[in-house]
Structure 1
Amino acid sequence: MTSTSPSAVSDGFSLKVLAILSTLMAFASISTDLYLPALPAMASALNADAGSVELTISGYLIGFSLGQLLWGPVGDRHGRRLPIAIGLLLFILGSVGCALSTSAGMMIAWRAVQAVGACASVVLARAMVRDLYVGHRAARMLSTLMTVMAIAPLVGPSLGGLILQLASWRAIFWTLVGVGLATLAALYGLPETLPVERRNPQPLWRALGRYAELLRQRRLLGYAGAGGFFYAAMYAYIAGTPFAYISYHHLSPQRYGLLFAIGIVGLMITNQVNARLVERYGSDRLMRAGSAGAALAGLWLALAAWTDWGGLSGLVVPLFLLVSATGFIVANSIAGALASFPTQAGSVSALIGSIQYGSGILGSALVGFYADGTPWPMACVIASCGLGSLLCALLLVPASAAPRGLPVASNR
């Protein structure tokens, strides 16, 4: 298939391409949100404790974080479509392994394989956006894509709860096999956005060494830190809420799915607000505002969890505010980093994603390691990470700063 140049599509994605890119970017949430209501049932079936089953999320994040460091340079060298196709095949293989697992250890290992495949879709879909857009337009497009892809976590837990009610938790992973196969078929309708003349001819080992140079850029660390700490908070939320809601507050898996979906509605709204405001106020300012909101929501949550103030509502309300902050933090942190290094979109997207999801490993693992049957470990991790996100946004991304010696892309 012939490559699509930025000029040919910069004034609007076709609905077909928008749908495919949204699906690719949604693989991170599809792979986890669908099976969240089944975590307690999995723990029982695999004869594992809650902490061990929560580590299946951490295992996924390990594969997702490290895999991006490979797929980014591969995508810069060989284009976007072929690596995505290979990643989807790995995702399908990992999903089959999860469905056939007989222990928590097997599940953790196959989740890592699943993640290495899934992350190719996510990191290279973001790079494709940067192939076509820069600056505020990239932030706006990422917000639009994230709004569309939020349908996955919006319906994922509810759908997972329904599958669990009709079949078993293993059927959830067979469903993911079907999703992978359908997406692989749809990939044929996605144009290549990186022409041969714009690809990076450097050997892979040299491209991987470029990460060390990127990590010396203070502004890049600011974007990565703001998003990374926030991802740690979000994955603490993902790992902790099934047990906080279902086990501690005795909700059904279906009601848990409904509460999870309400948070995603907030995320969708703030993504659209961000898309409308980003040209007026700038992506950095909105990222700082979102980080401040996440920090305040985390402190509120910690107080409620420590005192049991408000019961279930004392958890739901600040967690809703936390999830809603996604719309102001994630798209703007990614767009800011990509705009600063336009010739290395794949590698920068991979590095940012690896740091963000690597932080998610820490967030979800801490909740699992310190699980005590109450919401307190989750709340404590979220509050700490919210403050970390705010400090990175305020201290490492000064308003007029730019990476020294490296170009900053201008808006079209």
Structure 2
Amino acid sequence: MTTARRLRLVLVLGSLTAIGPLTIDMYLPALPEIAVDLHTTSAAVQLTLTGTLAGLAVGQLLIGPLSDAVGRRKPLLAGVALHIVASVLCVLAPSIGVIGVLRVLQGLGVAAASVVAMAVVRDLFDGAAFARLFSRLMLVVGVAPVLAPTLGSGLLRWSDWRGVFIALAAFGLILITVAAFGLPETLPPAARRRGGVLATARVYGSLLRDRTFVGLVLVTGLAMAALFAYVSGSSFVFQEQYGLDEQQFGIAFGAGAVGLIAATQLNVRLLNRYSPQRILIAALGLGTVAGLVLTTFAVTDFGGLPAVLASLWVVLFAAGLAMPNAPALALSRHGESAGTAAAMLGAVQFGVGALSAPLVGALGTGVVAMAVVVAGGMIAAVAVLFVVVRPAQLGDLAPSAVTVAAH
């Protein structure tokens, strides 16, 4: 592949991977405004985030095997088209209930883009070339959540919350055009999976019977739950409780995401000296301690906003170390069905994350509710790691997992 074609492919796949974080995070600064404008509660608005995550979870389970059976382009183009339509309808939505349903559809569309981008990389590359391209895509995944709330805050200077969905629809139109003309079919008919629903069900069944794999997937999901408790609660906590405006919230949220990105990059260097399971144990331990400290600051109000932000950023840093290594260890066990295993991993990540958003809303919109769910996710992840996974059983996975986790 020529350098020009490789660069074009990176740009197309990078755009595909960016649409997920943008769809999830770009409207976060507008959540309080949506609650006021549609005469609803903060908990109901947070459920729209849950809808997006649920759509992502279900969509990955469906679209992963589908793309193995019919090729990459058809599910991708259909998914992005669904995202565009749902975004436009969100602009016209008369109630929070309608937005909730449309956010589920947005999540389904985003799932197609995410799954197909990863599948295309597996189709075209292996070895060192795969690792290099995959690392570039992961950088996009890390940077997009940093930019998304800031972009949303900027839009809110000139528009109301509906402007965010107009921007998402416009990005989808650009993306579907680029994908239609710049991304060829990468899975030839001879390589497509046969056997239909029963074959897919058998693969999922074999994965569910692997206790260690299931445990690692749950660890990943619970770490993601802690992250999404922060995502769903932060706009209300920072803007309503601590008085930040929309632009200040974007900066604070972006700073936390920078810590997450820094941890994923540090992880590459740490893997030169330590096994992924050791890094995972240390990261979850650090995240649990930071979560408990965060809860203490939240309950006592000691240190105010700076103390909350500092402890939150440590939790995010720990999550950034944990989340590359747990999936790497899990996927290393099922190379023969990596696509379906990755789909299940992604579904659990976003599915468990989807549960944390309404839990924060049910407990309240203050910093205590957010802190309790963040700390609870980390504590549960540690418990699953030692009770279900049992780190001593991971010793034989280090050589194959290092390459995946590093990139």
In 2, Cα distance between equivalents of 1:81 and 1:335 = 27
Given residue 174 of structure 1, which amino acid in structure 2 is its aligned partner?
Answer: I
| 8 A contact 2:275–2:402 mirrored in 1 | no
2:234 corresponds to: 241
Post-superposition offset of 1:268: 1.9
Secondary structure at the residue paired with 1:340?
Answer: coil
| Correspondence for 1:52 | 44
Deviates more, 1:189-198 or 1:319-328: 189-198
Alignment of 1:167-186 (within 5 A): 167-186=159-178
- CA deviation map 1:192-222 (0-9, x unaligned): 4434333221213431343122111122113
Change beyond 3 A, Cα 1:183–1:284: farther
Aligned residue for 1:113, secondary structure, equals: helix
Q: Do 2:217 and 2:345's aligned partners in 1 also have CA atoms closer than 8 Å?
A: yes
* Cα distance, 1:91 vs structure 2: 0.9
Describe the SS at the equivalent of 1:150. Answer: helix
- Distance across 1 between alignment mates of 2:123 and 2:74: 16
Q: TM-score, normalised by structure 2?
A: 0.90
Decide which of 303, 315, 323 is 2:316's aligned counterpart: 323
The answer as to whether partners of 1:284 and 1:399 remain within 8 angstroms in 2 is: yes
The counterpart of 2:68, out of the listed 68, 76, 79, is 76
Give the aligned residue type for 2:373.
Answer: V
Conserved in 2, the CA contact under 8 Å of 1:136 and 1:279? no
The structure with more helix, counted as a fraction of residues: 2
Conserved? CA contact 2:276–2:402, under 8 Å: no
- Please state if 1:346 is matched with 2:360: no
In structure 2, the CA distance between the partners of 1:192 and 1:300, relative to structure 1 (3 Å rule), is: farther
Quote the offset at 1:92 in angstroms: 0.9
Aligned length: 398
Task: For residues 5-53 of structure 1, give each alpha carbon's deviation from its aligned partner in whole angstroms, at most 9, with x where no partner exists.
Answer: xxx69x9993332333233223321102110000011011111111111
Deviation sequence 1:221-270 (CA, Å, 0-9, x none): 13211210011111110111101100000110100000011111112222
Q: Following superposition of structure 1 onto structure 2, how do residues 215-226 of structure 1 map, counting pairs within 5 Å?
A: 215-226=208-219
CA RMSD of aligned residues (A): 2.6
Structure 1: state its 5+ residue gaps: 1-7, 403-407
Is the contact made by 1:134 and 1:411 (CA closer than 8 Å) also made in structure 2? no
Q: Deviations over 1:376-412 (max 9, x none)?
A: 111101101011222334441532356xxxxx79979
Q: What residue in structure 1 maps to residue 264 of structure 2?
A: 271
Q: How many angstroms does 1:147 deviate by?
A: 1.9
Matches of residues 120-269 of structure 1 in structure 2 within 5 Å? 120-131=112-123, 142-187=134-179, 188-269=181-262
One-letter identity of the residue aligned with 2:61: L
Q: Distance in 2 between matches of 1:142 and 1:319?
A: 28
Q: 2-side partners of 1:318 and 1:136: how far apart?
A: 37
What one-letter code is carried by the residue in structure 2 that aligns with 1:220? F
Does structure 2 retain, via aligned residues, the 8 Å contact 1:90–1:117? Answer: yes
What corresponds to 1:405 in structure 2? none
Q: Report if aligned partners of 1:39, 1:53 keep a CA contact under 8 Å in 2.
A: yes
Distance (whole Å) between structure 2 residues aligned to residue 138 and residue 126 of structure 1? 10
**Given the superposition, is the C-alpha separation of residues 411 and 52 from structure 1 closer, same or farther in structure 2, using an over 3 Å criterion?**
closer
Separation of aligned partners in 2, 1:73 and 1:14:
26
The offset of 1:189, in angstroms, is 2.2
Query: What is the identity, as a one-letter code, of the residue corresponding to 1:399?
Result: L
User: How many angstroms does 1:66 deviate by?
Assistant: 1.2
TM-score by length of 1: 0.89
Q: Identify which of 283, 287, 294 aligns with 2:276.
A: 283
Q: Would you say the 8 A contact 2:328–2:401 is kept in 1?
A: no
Report what 1:113 is aligned to: 105
- The CA distance in 2 between the partners of 1:410 and 1:149, in whole Å, is 20
* Percent identical residues: 35
Query: Within 5 A, what are the aligned runs for 1:289-368?
Result: 289-368=282-361
Q: Does the 8 Å contact 1:37/1:253 carry over to 2?
A: yes
**Residues of 2 paired with 1:237 and 1:409: CA distance?**
29
Q: Describe the SS at the equivalent of 2:332.
A: helix
Classify 1:383/1:107 alpha carbon distance in 2 versus 1 (closer, same or farther; 3 Å). same
What's the CA shift string for 1:274-311, capped at 9, x where partnerless? Answer: 23333543333333332222222211111111111111
| Cα displacement (A) at 1:328 | 2.0
Distance 1:50 1:409, change over 3 A: closer
1:138 CA drift (Å):
6.5
Which residue of 1 is the match for residue 395 of structure 2? Answer: 400
Residue of structure 1 in register with 2:13 after alignment: 21
- After TM superposition, the structure 1 stretch with the greater mean CA deviation from structure 2, 18-27 or 28-37, is 18-27
Q: 2-side partners of 1:129 and 1:312: how far apart?
A: 42
Residue 40 of structure 1 corresponds to: 32
Match of 1:382 in 2: 374
Paired letter, 2:395:
S
Say if 1:232 and 1:361, in contact at 8 Å, map to a contact too: yes
